[in-house]
Structure 1
Amino acid sequence: MKRKSKWVSSVLLTAMLVLSACSGGNDKENKASPSSSPQSSASEPSSAAPDNKEPVTIEFMGHGNPNEKKIFEKLIASFEEKYPNVTVKYTSVPPGEYSQKLTTLVSSGKAPDVFYVGGSEFYRFAAAGTVLNIQSYLDQTALFNPDNVWKQALDRYRFDGSKVGSGELYGLPKDVGPWAFVYNKTLFDQANIPVPPAQAGQWTWNDMLEAAKKLTVDENGDGKPEQYGVGAYSLESAVWGNGGQFIDYDAGTVLVDQPEFYEAMQFVADLSLKEGVSPNQEAEQALNAYTRFLDGKLGMFAMGPWDQPAFWELPFEWDIAAWPASPNTGKTATWLGSMGFAISAKSKHPQEAFDLAAFLSLDENGQRENYELGQAVPNLIDMANGEFKAVDKAPASRQVFLDIIQDYGRPDVPAFSKDTQWIDTFWQDASKVWNGQMSAKDFTAQIKPKMQELYDKGNK
């Protein structure tokens, strides 16, 4: 998963950074044919096996920051050590360029053997036959125990011919990304403020606001705090915790004009507009919330597991907590992202491509390297509940990551859309609320019909 940092002014670019691309797949045409059926031993070569195999080169394309690139270079080196006959040509594309580049490669028939895919991108690729149905490969490898991989992650890569979430697997999770509430423990301790609890429901929006006011510091009284209490507060967390929804996917109905939604949205906007505890648009443009947190000038923020390598270098103590609960419902929620590994339906080396995807997603040693390097929560449940939790590194409350996965995390909003224009439009126009031009109630009433029209056009 990528960082998806969002803040109160564009709110939560997280939803917008779920990379999208075009294309799709055909369920029947994408299954492995009998002639290409994987060998049961192919994913677990013996020490002598490489001598009997032809050298193979496969291409793998992903995206990420420099830390992620370094991590995957190490993981690929481990894969090549395990599969000496396979050479992996790895390309890491800047996140903002990835979707366009992948779309161009797919359209020209030059898709990499293995590539990142997620959300609406996966939906379209699966529906159009771009990605391989890998169920038969999984059925014949001992690496895959469906009872020991997060269902919440696997279901994101199932496709039944018409919708995502059920059916056979067309991808494997690269990760499952719990979006956690992170705080600067040093600032809390210095201000003698009790830290946010790890248990869901024990801290409300009111508790968070009280702490944020104490952590907001305007040293020279010019109305521009040098230190803020909270930044990039998750609109999704606020809406879902308050009992609202962006959309009812089963009915195909956009629900942003409901009181549970617009009340939560106004609460998020008022953190800067009314309370002054969160950077407004001008302050965010001058210095974004992510950088403020790294600089030790922000009390509470948001993070995914992939942020750990950068956060481990910070000169202050930090930890994670449950997102504050709505005082109206007592409920806590946040989004649970995921990026996956897909295999091109046109790959000339589908077995080797599957071996790489399976290694990166399911291999015990690969998963261990992944979490030790701070890239993700293990996809393997027993490892996550065991050695991952016992790691003697921040966050101390890493159980929060697992609680989000198991209890109160939800798929990010566009996860089950083929076309995301409806939600993209919402994020693009939401600045009218963040800058105080419109109330959340008026804005959502105005934009709901447009969102519904776009959803119906692109997804029905």
Structure 2
Amino acid sequence: MKSKSKFAGMLVLLLMFALSACSGGGPSGDSSTGSPSSPQPGQEGSGETGKKAPVTIEFMGHGNPNEKKIFEKLIASFEDKYPHVTVKYTSVPPGEYSQKMTTLISSGKVPDVFYVGGPEFYRFAEAGTLLNIQSYLDQTTLFNPDNVWKEALDRYRFDGSKVGAGDLYGLPKDVGPWAFVYNKDLFDEAGVPYPSATAGEWTWEDMLEAAQKLTVDRNGDGKPEQYGVGAYALESAVWANGGEYIDYETGTVKVNEPEFYEAMQFVADLSLKHKVSPNQEAEQAMNAYTRFVDGSLAMFAMGPWDQPAFWELPFEWDIAAWPASPNTGQTATWLGSMGFAVSAKSKHPQEAFDLAAFLSLDEQGQRENYQLGQAVPNLIDMAEGEFLQMEQGPKTRQVFLDIIEDYGRPDVIAFSKDTQWMDLFNQNASKVWNGDMSAKDFTAEIHQQMQDLYDKGNK
């Protein structure tokens, strides 16, 4: 789930996130009790004695080539642990995954295990696509549920009407804290103090002052060769300022409130007014991710999945807390997640569950996962222990855990089954980023349209 080249303030993810589930443990789609004919834990492939019959299961995910290599290694480890199981692994480009899953579901060829994330989880829950795995978890000795991030597990609960409560229909592939990353070498060269790793200590004003000193136009043509900050997360600014995109309890869109549009204007002014962030034209010429990795952008954003690429960078870097709004003193950022789900129609539900559980919660699998730089461990004791002691960057990797435990929030569309209301916002926000409209005027204009679309698709 993981885009690295997002326009400033338009990081509303996108990809990833919290799927919750459906079909109550069987093809019938009863999300409360499960079908009487549903396969139950221990019925297939779970005997403790005797030779087990060979089983082949299909697993489909998405990601970049590095993620594919990581999962190939993890699957090989799983097959060593479960020698009677062969995993047929397919990785598709992220942009093609949703359509591919839709096609497979329509044709009745759903993989045994597959990624779930974002609004699809809600939709799959209603459609009866996912296996209720609560009974499998209740009988497993693989892990202690108190040792798994609640913030991760709750993304895959569904009680028949809402996400976040009830039985588990998926397991977290990861919990993705979106951190604020900075180039230490550029800070050192400019004599600028590093951002604080402690939430609330470094404000928007501090960030802007640092960005101004770190923006360099060497030939004076008005187009800096080096920028102070890029792709600043709009969600972080809005939430830190006390704003909301929506109140999900009442279904009320709230983009027209001062806390929202003032934060949006702050993000827009980083390029429009202060010139410390690439504008849309500059972003199209070279995106912020590319600028950061080539050393010409001082502050950016990263997820744990970026670690392998960042370990190869020729400069020193670290992560900090996102800047706090001076109006509230609060810090915020989004906490993404992708999950593993088991098909309600799998012919080998026990083996499929075993694979999902291994990839999500098995100690060996989790250790390999974080050592390969894929994610923060889902197991709390591992995350707070050996993960923090890694030699590779970031040095202040405690920030990842602070985001999970303290100031990270699910991405905006995580609990919305229809996203047209947010699509409308993102498709038109360039009016603000280009300076054609103020954030106040834009949000006033689009607010009712967003509300109408939300009501139509989600109520």
Give the corresponding residue for 1:37: 40
Deviation per CA, 1:361-390, whole angstroms, max 9, x where unpaired? Answer: 000000000000000000001100111011
Structure 1 pair 368–149 and aligned structure 2 pair: CA distance change class (3 A): same
Deviation per CA, 1:284-340, whole angstroms, max 9, x where unpaired? Answer: 010000000010000000000000000000000000000000000000000000000
Choose 332-341 or 11-20, whichever is displaced more. Answer: 11-20
CA contact (8 A) 1:5 1:13 kept: no
For structure 1, the residue ranges without an aligned partner over 5 or more in a row are: none
Q: Distance in 2 between matches of 1:101 and 1:20?
A: 19
Q: Which amino acid aligns with 1:12?
A: M
Structure 1 pair 405–20 and aligned structure 2 pair: CA distance change class (3 A): closer
| Equivalence map 1:37-186=2 (5 Å) | 37-39=40-42, 52-186=51-185
CA contact (8 A) 1:181 1:302 kept: yes
Structure 1 pair 218–158 and aligned structure 2 pair: CA distance change class (3 A): same
CA contact (8 A) 1:245 1:256 kept: yes
CA contact (8 A) 1:132 1:342 kept: yes
For structure 2, the residue ranges without an aligned partner over 5 or more in a row are: 24-28
Give the corresponding residue for 1:216: 215
State the shift of 1:126 in Å: 1.2
Deviation per CA, 1:234-268, whole angstroms, max 9, x where unpaired? Answer: 00000000000000000100000000000000000
State the shift of 1:37 in Å: 1.7
Give the corresponding residue for 1:284: 283
Structure 1 pair 279–13 and aligned structure 2 pair: CA distance change class (3 A): same
Structure 1 pair 149–5 and aligned structure 2 pair: CA distance change class (3 A): farther
Q: Distance in 2 between matches of 1:24 and 1:137?
A: 16
Q: Which amino acid aligns with 1:195?
A: Y
State the shift of 1:89 in Å: 0.5
SS in 2 for 1:388: coil
Give the corresponding residue for 1:2: 2
Q: Distance in 2 between matches of 1:54 and 1:157?
A: 31
Q: Which amino acid aligns with 1:7?
A: F
State the shift of 1:13 in Å: 4.2
SS in 2 for 1:437: coil
Give the corresponding residue for 2:26: none
Structure 1 pair 19–177 and aligned structure 2 pair: CA distance change class (3 A): closer
Give the corresponding residue for 1:436: 435
Give the corresponding residue for 2:324: 325
Matched residue pairs, number? 454
Give the corresponding residue for 1:316: 315
CA contact (8 A) 1:217 1:226 kept: yes
State the shift of 1:33 in Å: 4.6
State the shift of 1:12 in Å: 2.5
SS in 1 for 2:386: helix
CA contact (8 A) 1:205 1:325 kept: yes
Structure 1 pair 22–123 and aligned structure 2 pair: CA distance change class (3 A): closer
SS in 2 for 1:174: strand
Q: Which amino acid aligns with 2:397?
A: R
CA contact (8 A) 1:181 1:323 kept: yes
Structure 1 pair 35–438 and aligned structure 2 pair: CA distance change class (3 A): closer
State the shift of 1:113 in Å: 0.5
- TM-score, with normalisation over the residues of structure 2? 0.96
Q: Distance in 2 between matches of 1:108 and 1:447?
A: 38
| Equivalence map 1:240-389=2 (5 Å) | 240-389=239-388
CA contact (8 A) 1:5 1:12 kept: no
CA contact (8 A) 1:16 1:424 kept: no
CA contact (8 A) 2:45 2:52 kept: no
Q: Distance in 2 between matches of 1:227 and 1:31?
A: 58
State the shift of 1:144 in Å: 3.2
Residue in structure 2 matching 1:18, options 16, 34, 37: 16
CA contact (8 A) 1:241 1:325 kept: yes
CA contact (8 A) 2:148 2:378 kept: yes
Q: Distance in 1 between matches of 2:254 and 2:38?
A: 48
Structure 1 pair 317–32 and aligned structure 2 pair: CA distance change class (3 A): farther
- TM-score, with normalisation over the residues of structure 1? 0.95
For the pair 1:445 / 2:436, whether they are aligned, the reply is no
Q: Distance in 1 between matches of 2:108 and 2:457?
A: 25
Q: Distance in 2 between matches of 1:18 and 1:221?
A: 41
SS in 1 for 2:299: strand
Q: Which amino acid aligns with 2:309?
A: A
Deviation per CA, 1:323-358, whole angstroms, max 9, x where unpaired? Answer: 000000000000000000001111111110000000
Structure 1 pair 328–359 and aligned structure 2 pair: CA distance change class (3 A): same
CA contact (8 A) 1:4 1:18 kept: no
Q: Distance in 1 between matches of 2:410 and 2:180?
A: 17
Q: Distance in 2 between matches of 1:56 and 1:143?
A: 21
Structure 1 pair 367–19 and aligned structure 2 pair: CA distance change class (3 A): closer
Q: Distance in 1 between matches of 2:380 and 2:150?
A: 10
State the shift of 1:119 in Å: 1.5
Q: Distance in 2 between matches of 1:68 and 1:355?
A: 21
CA contact (8 A) 1:173 1:338 kept: yes
Q: Distance in 2 between matches of 1:20 and 1:106?
A: 19
Choose 211-220 or 16-25, whichever is displaced more. Answer: 16-25
Q: Distance in 2 between matches of 1:30 and 1:5?
A: 43
Structure 1 pair 373–208 and aligned structure 2 pair: CA distance change class (3 A): same
CA contact (8 A) 1:19 1:99 kept: no
Q: Which amino acid aligns with 2:243?
A: G
CA RMSD across the alignment: 1.9
State the shift of 1:190 in Å: 1.1
CA contact (8 A) 1:289 1:301 kept: yes
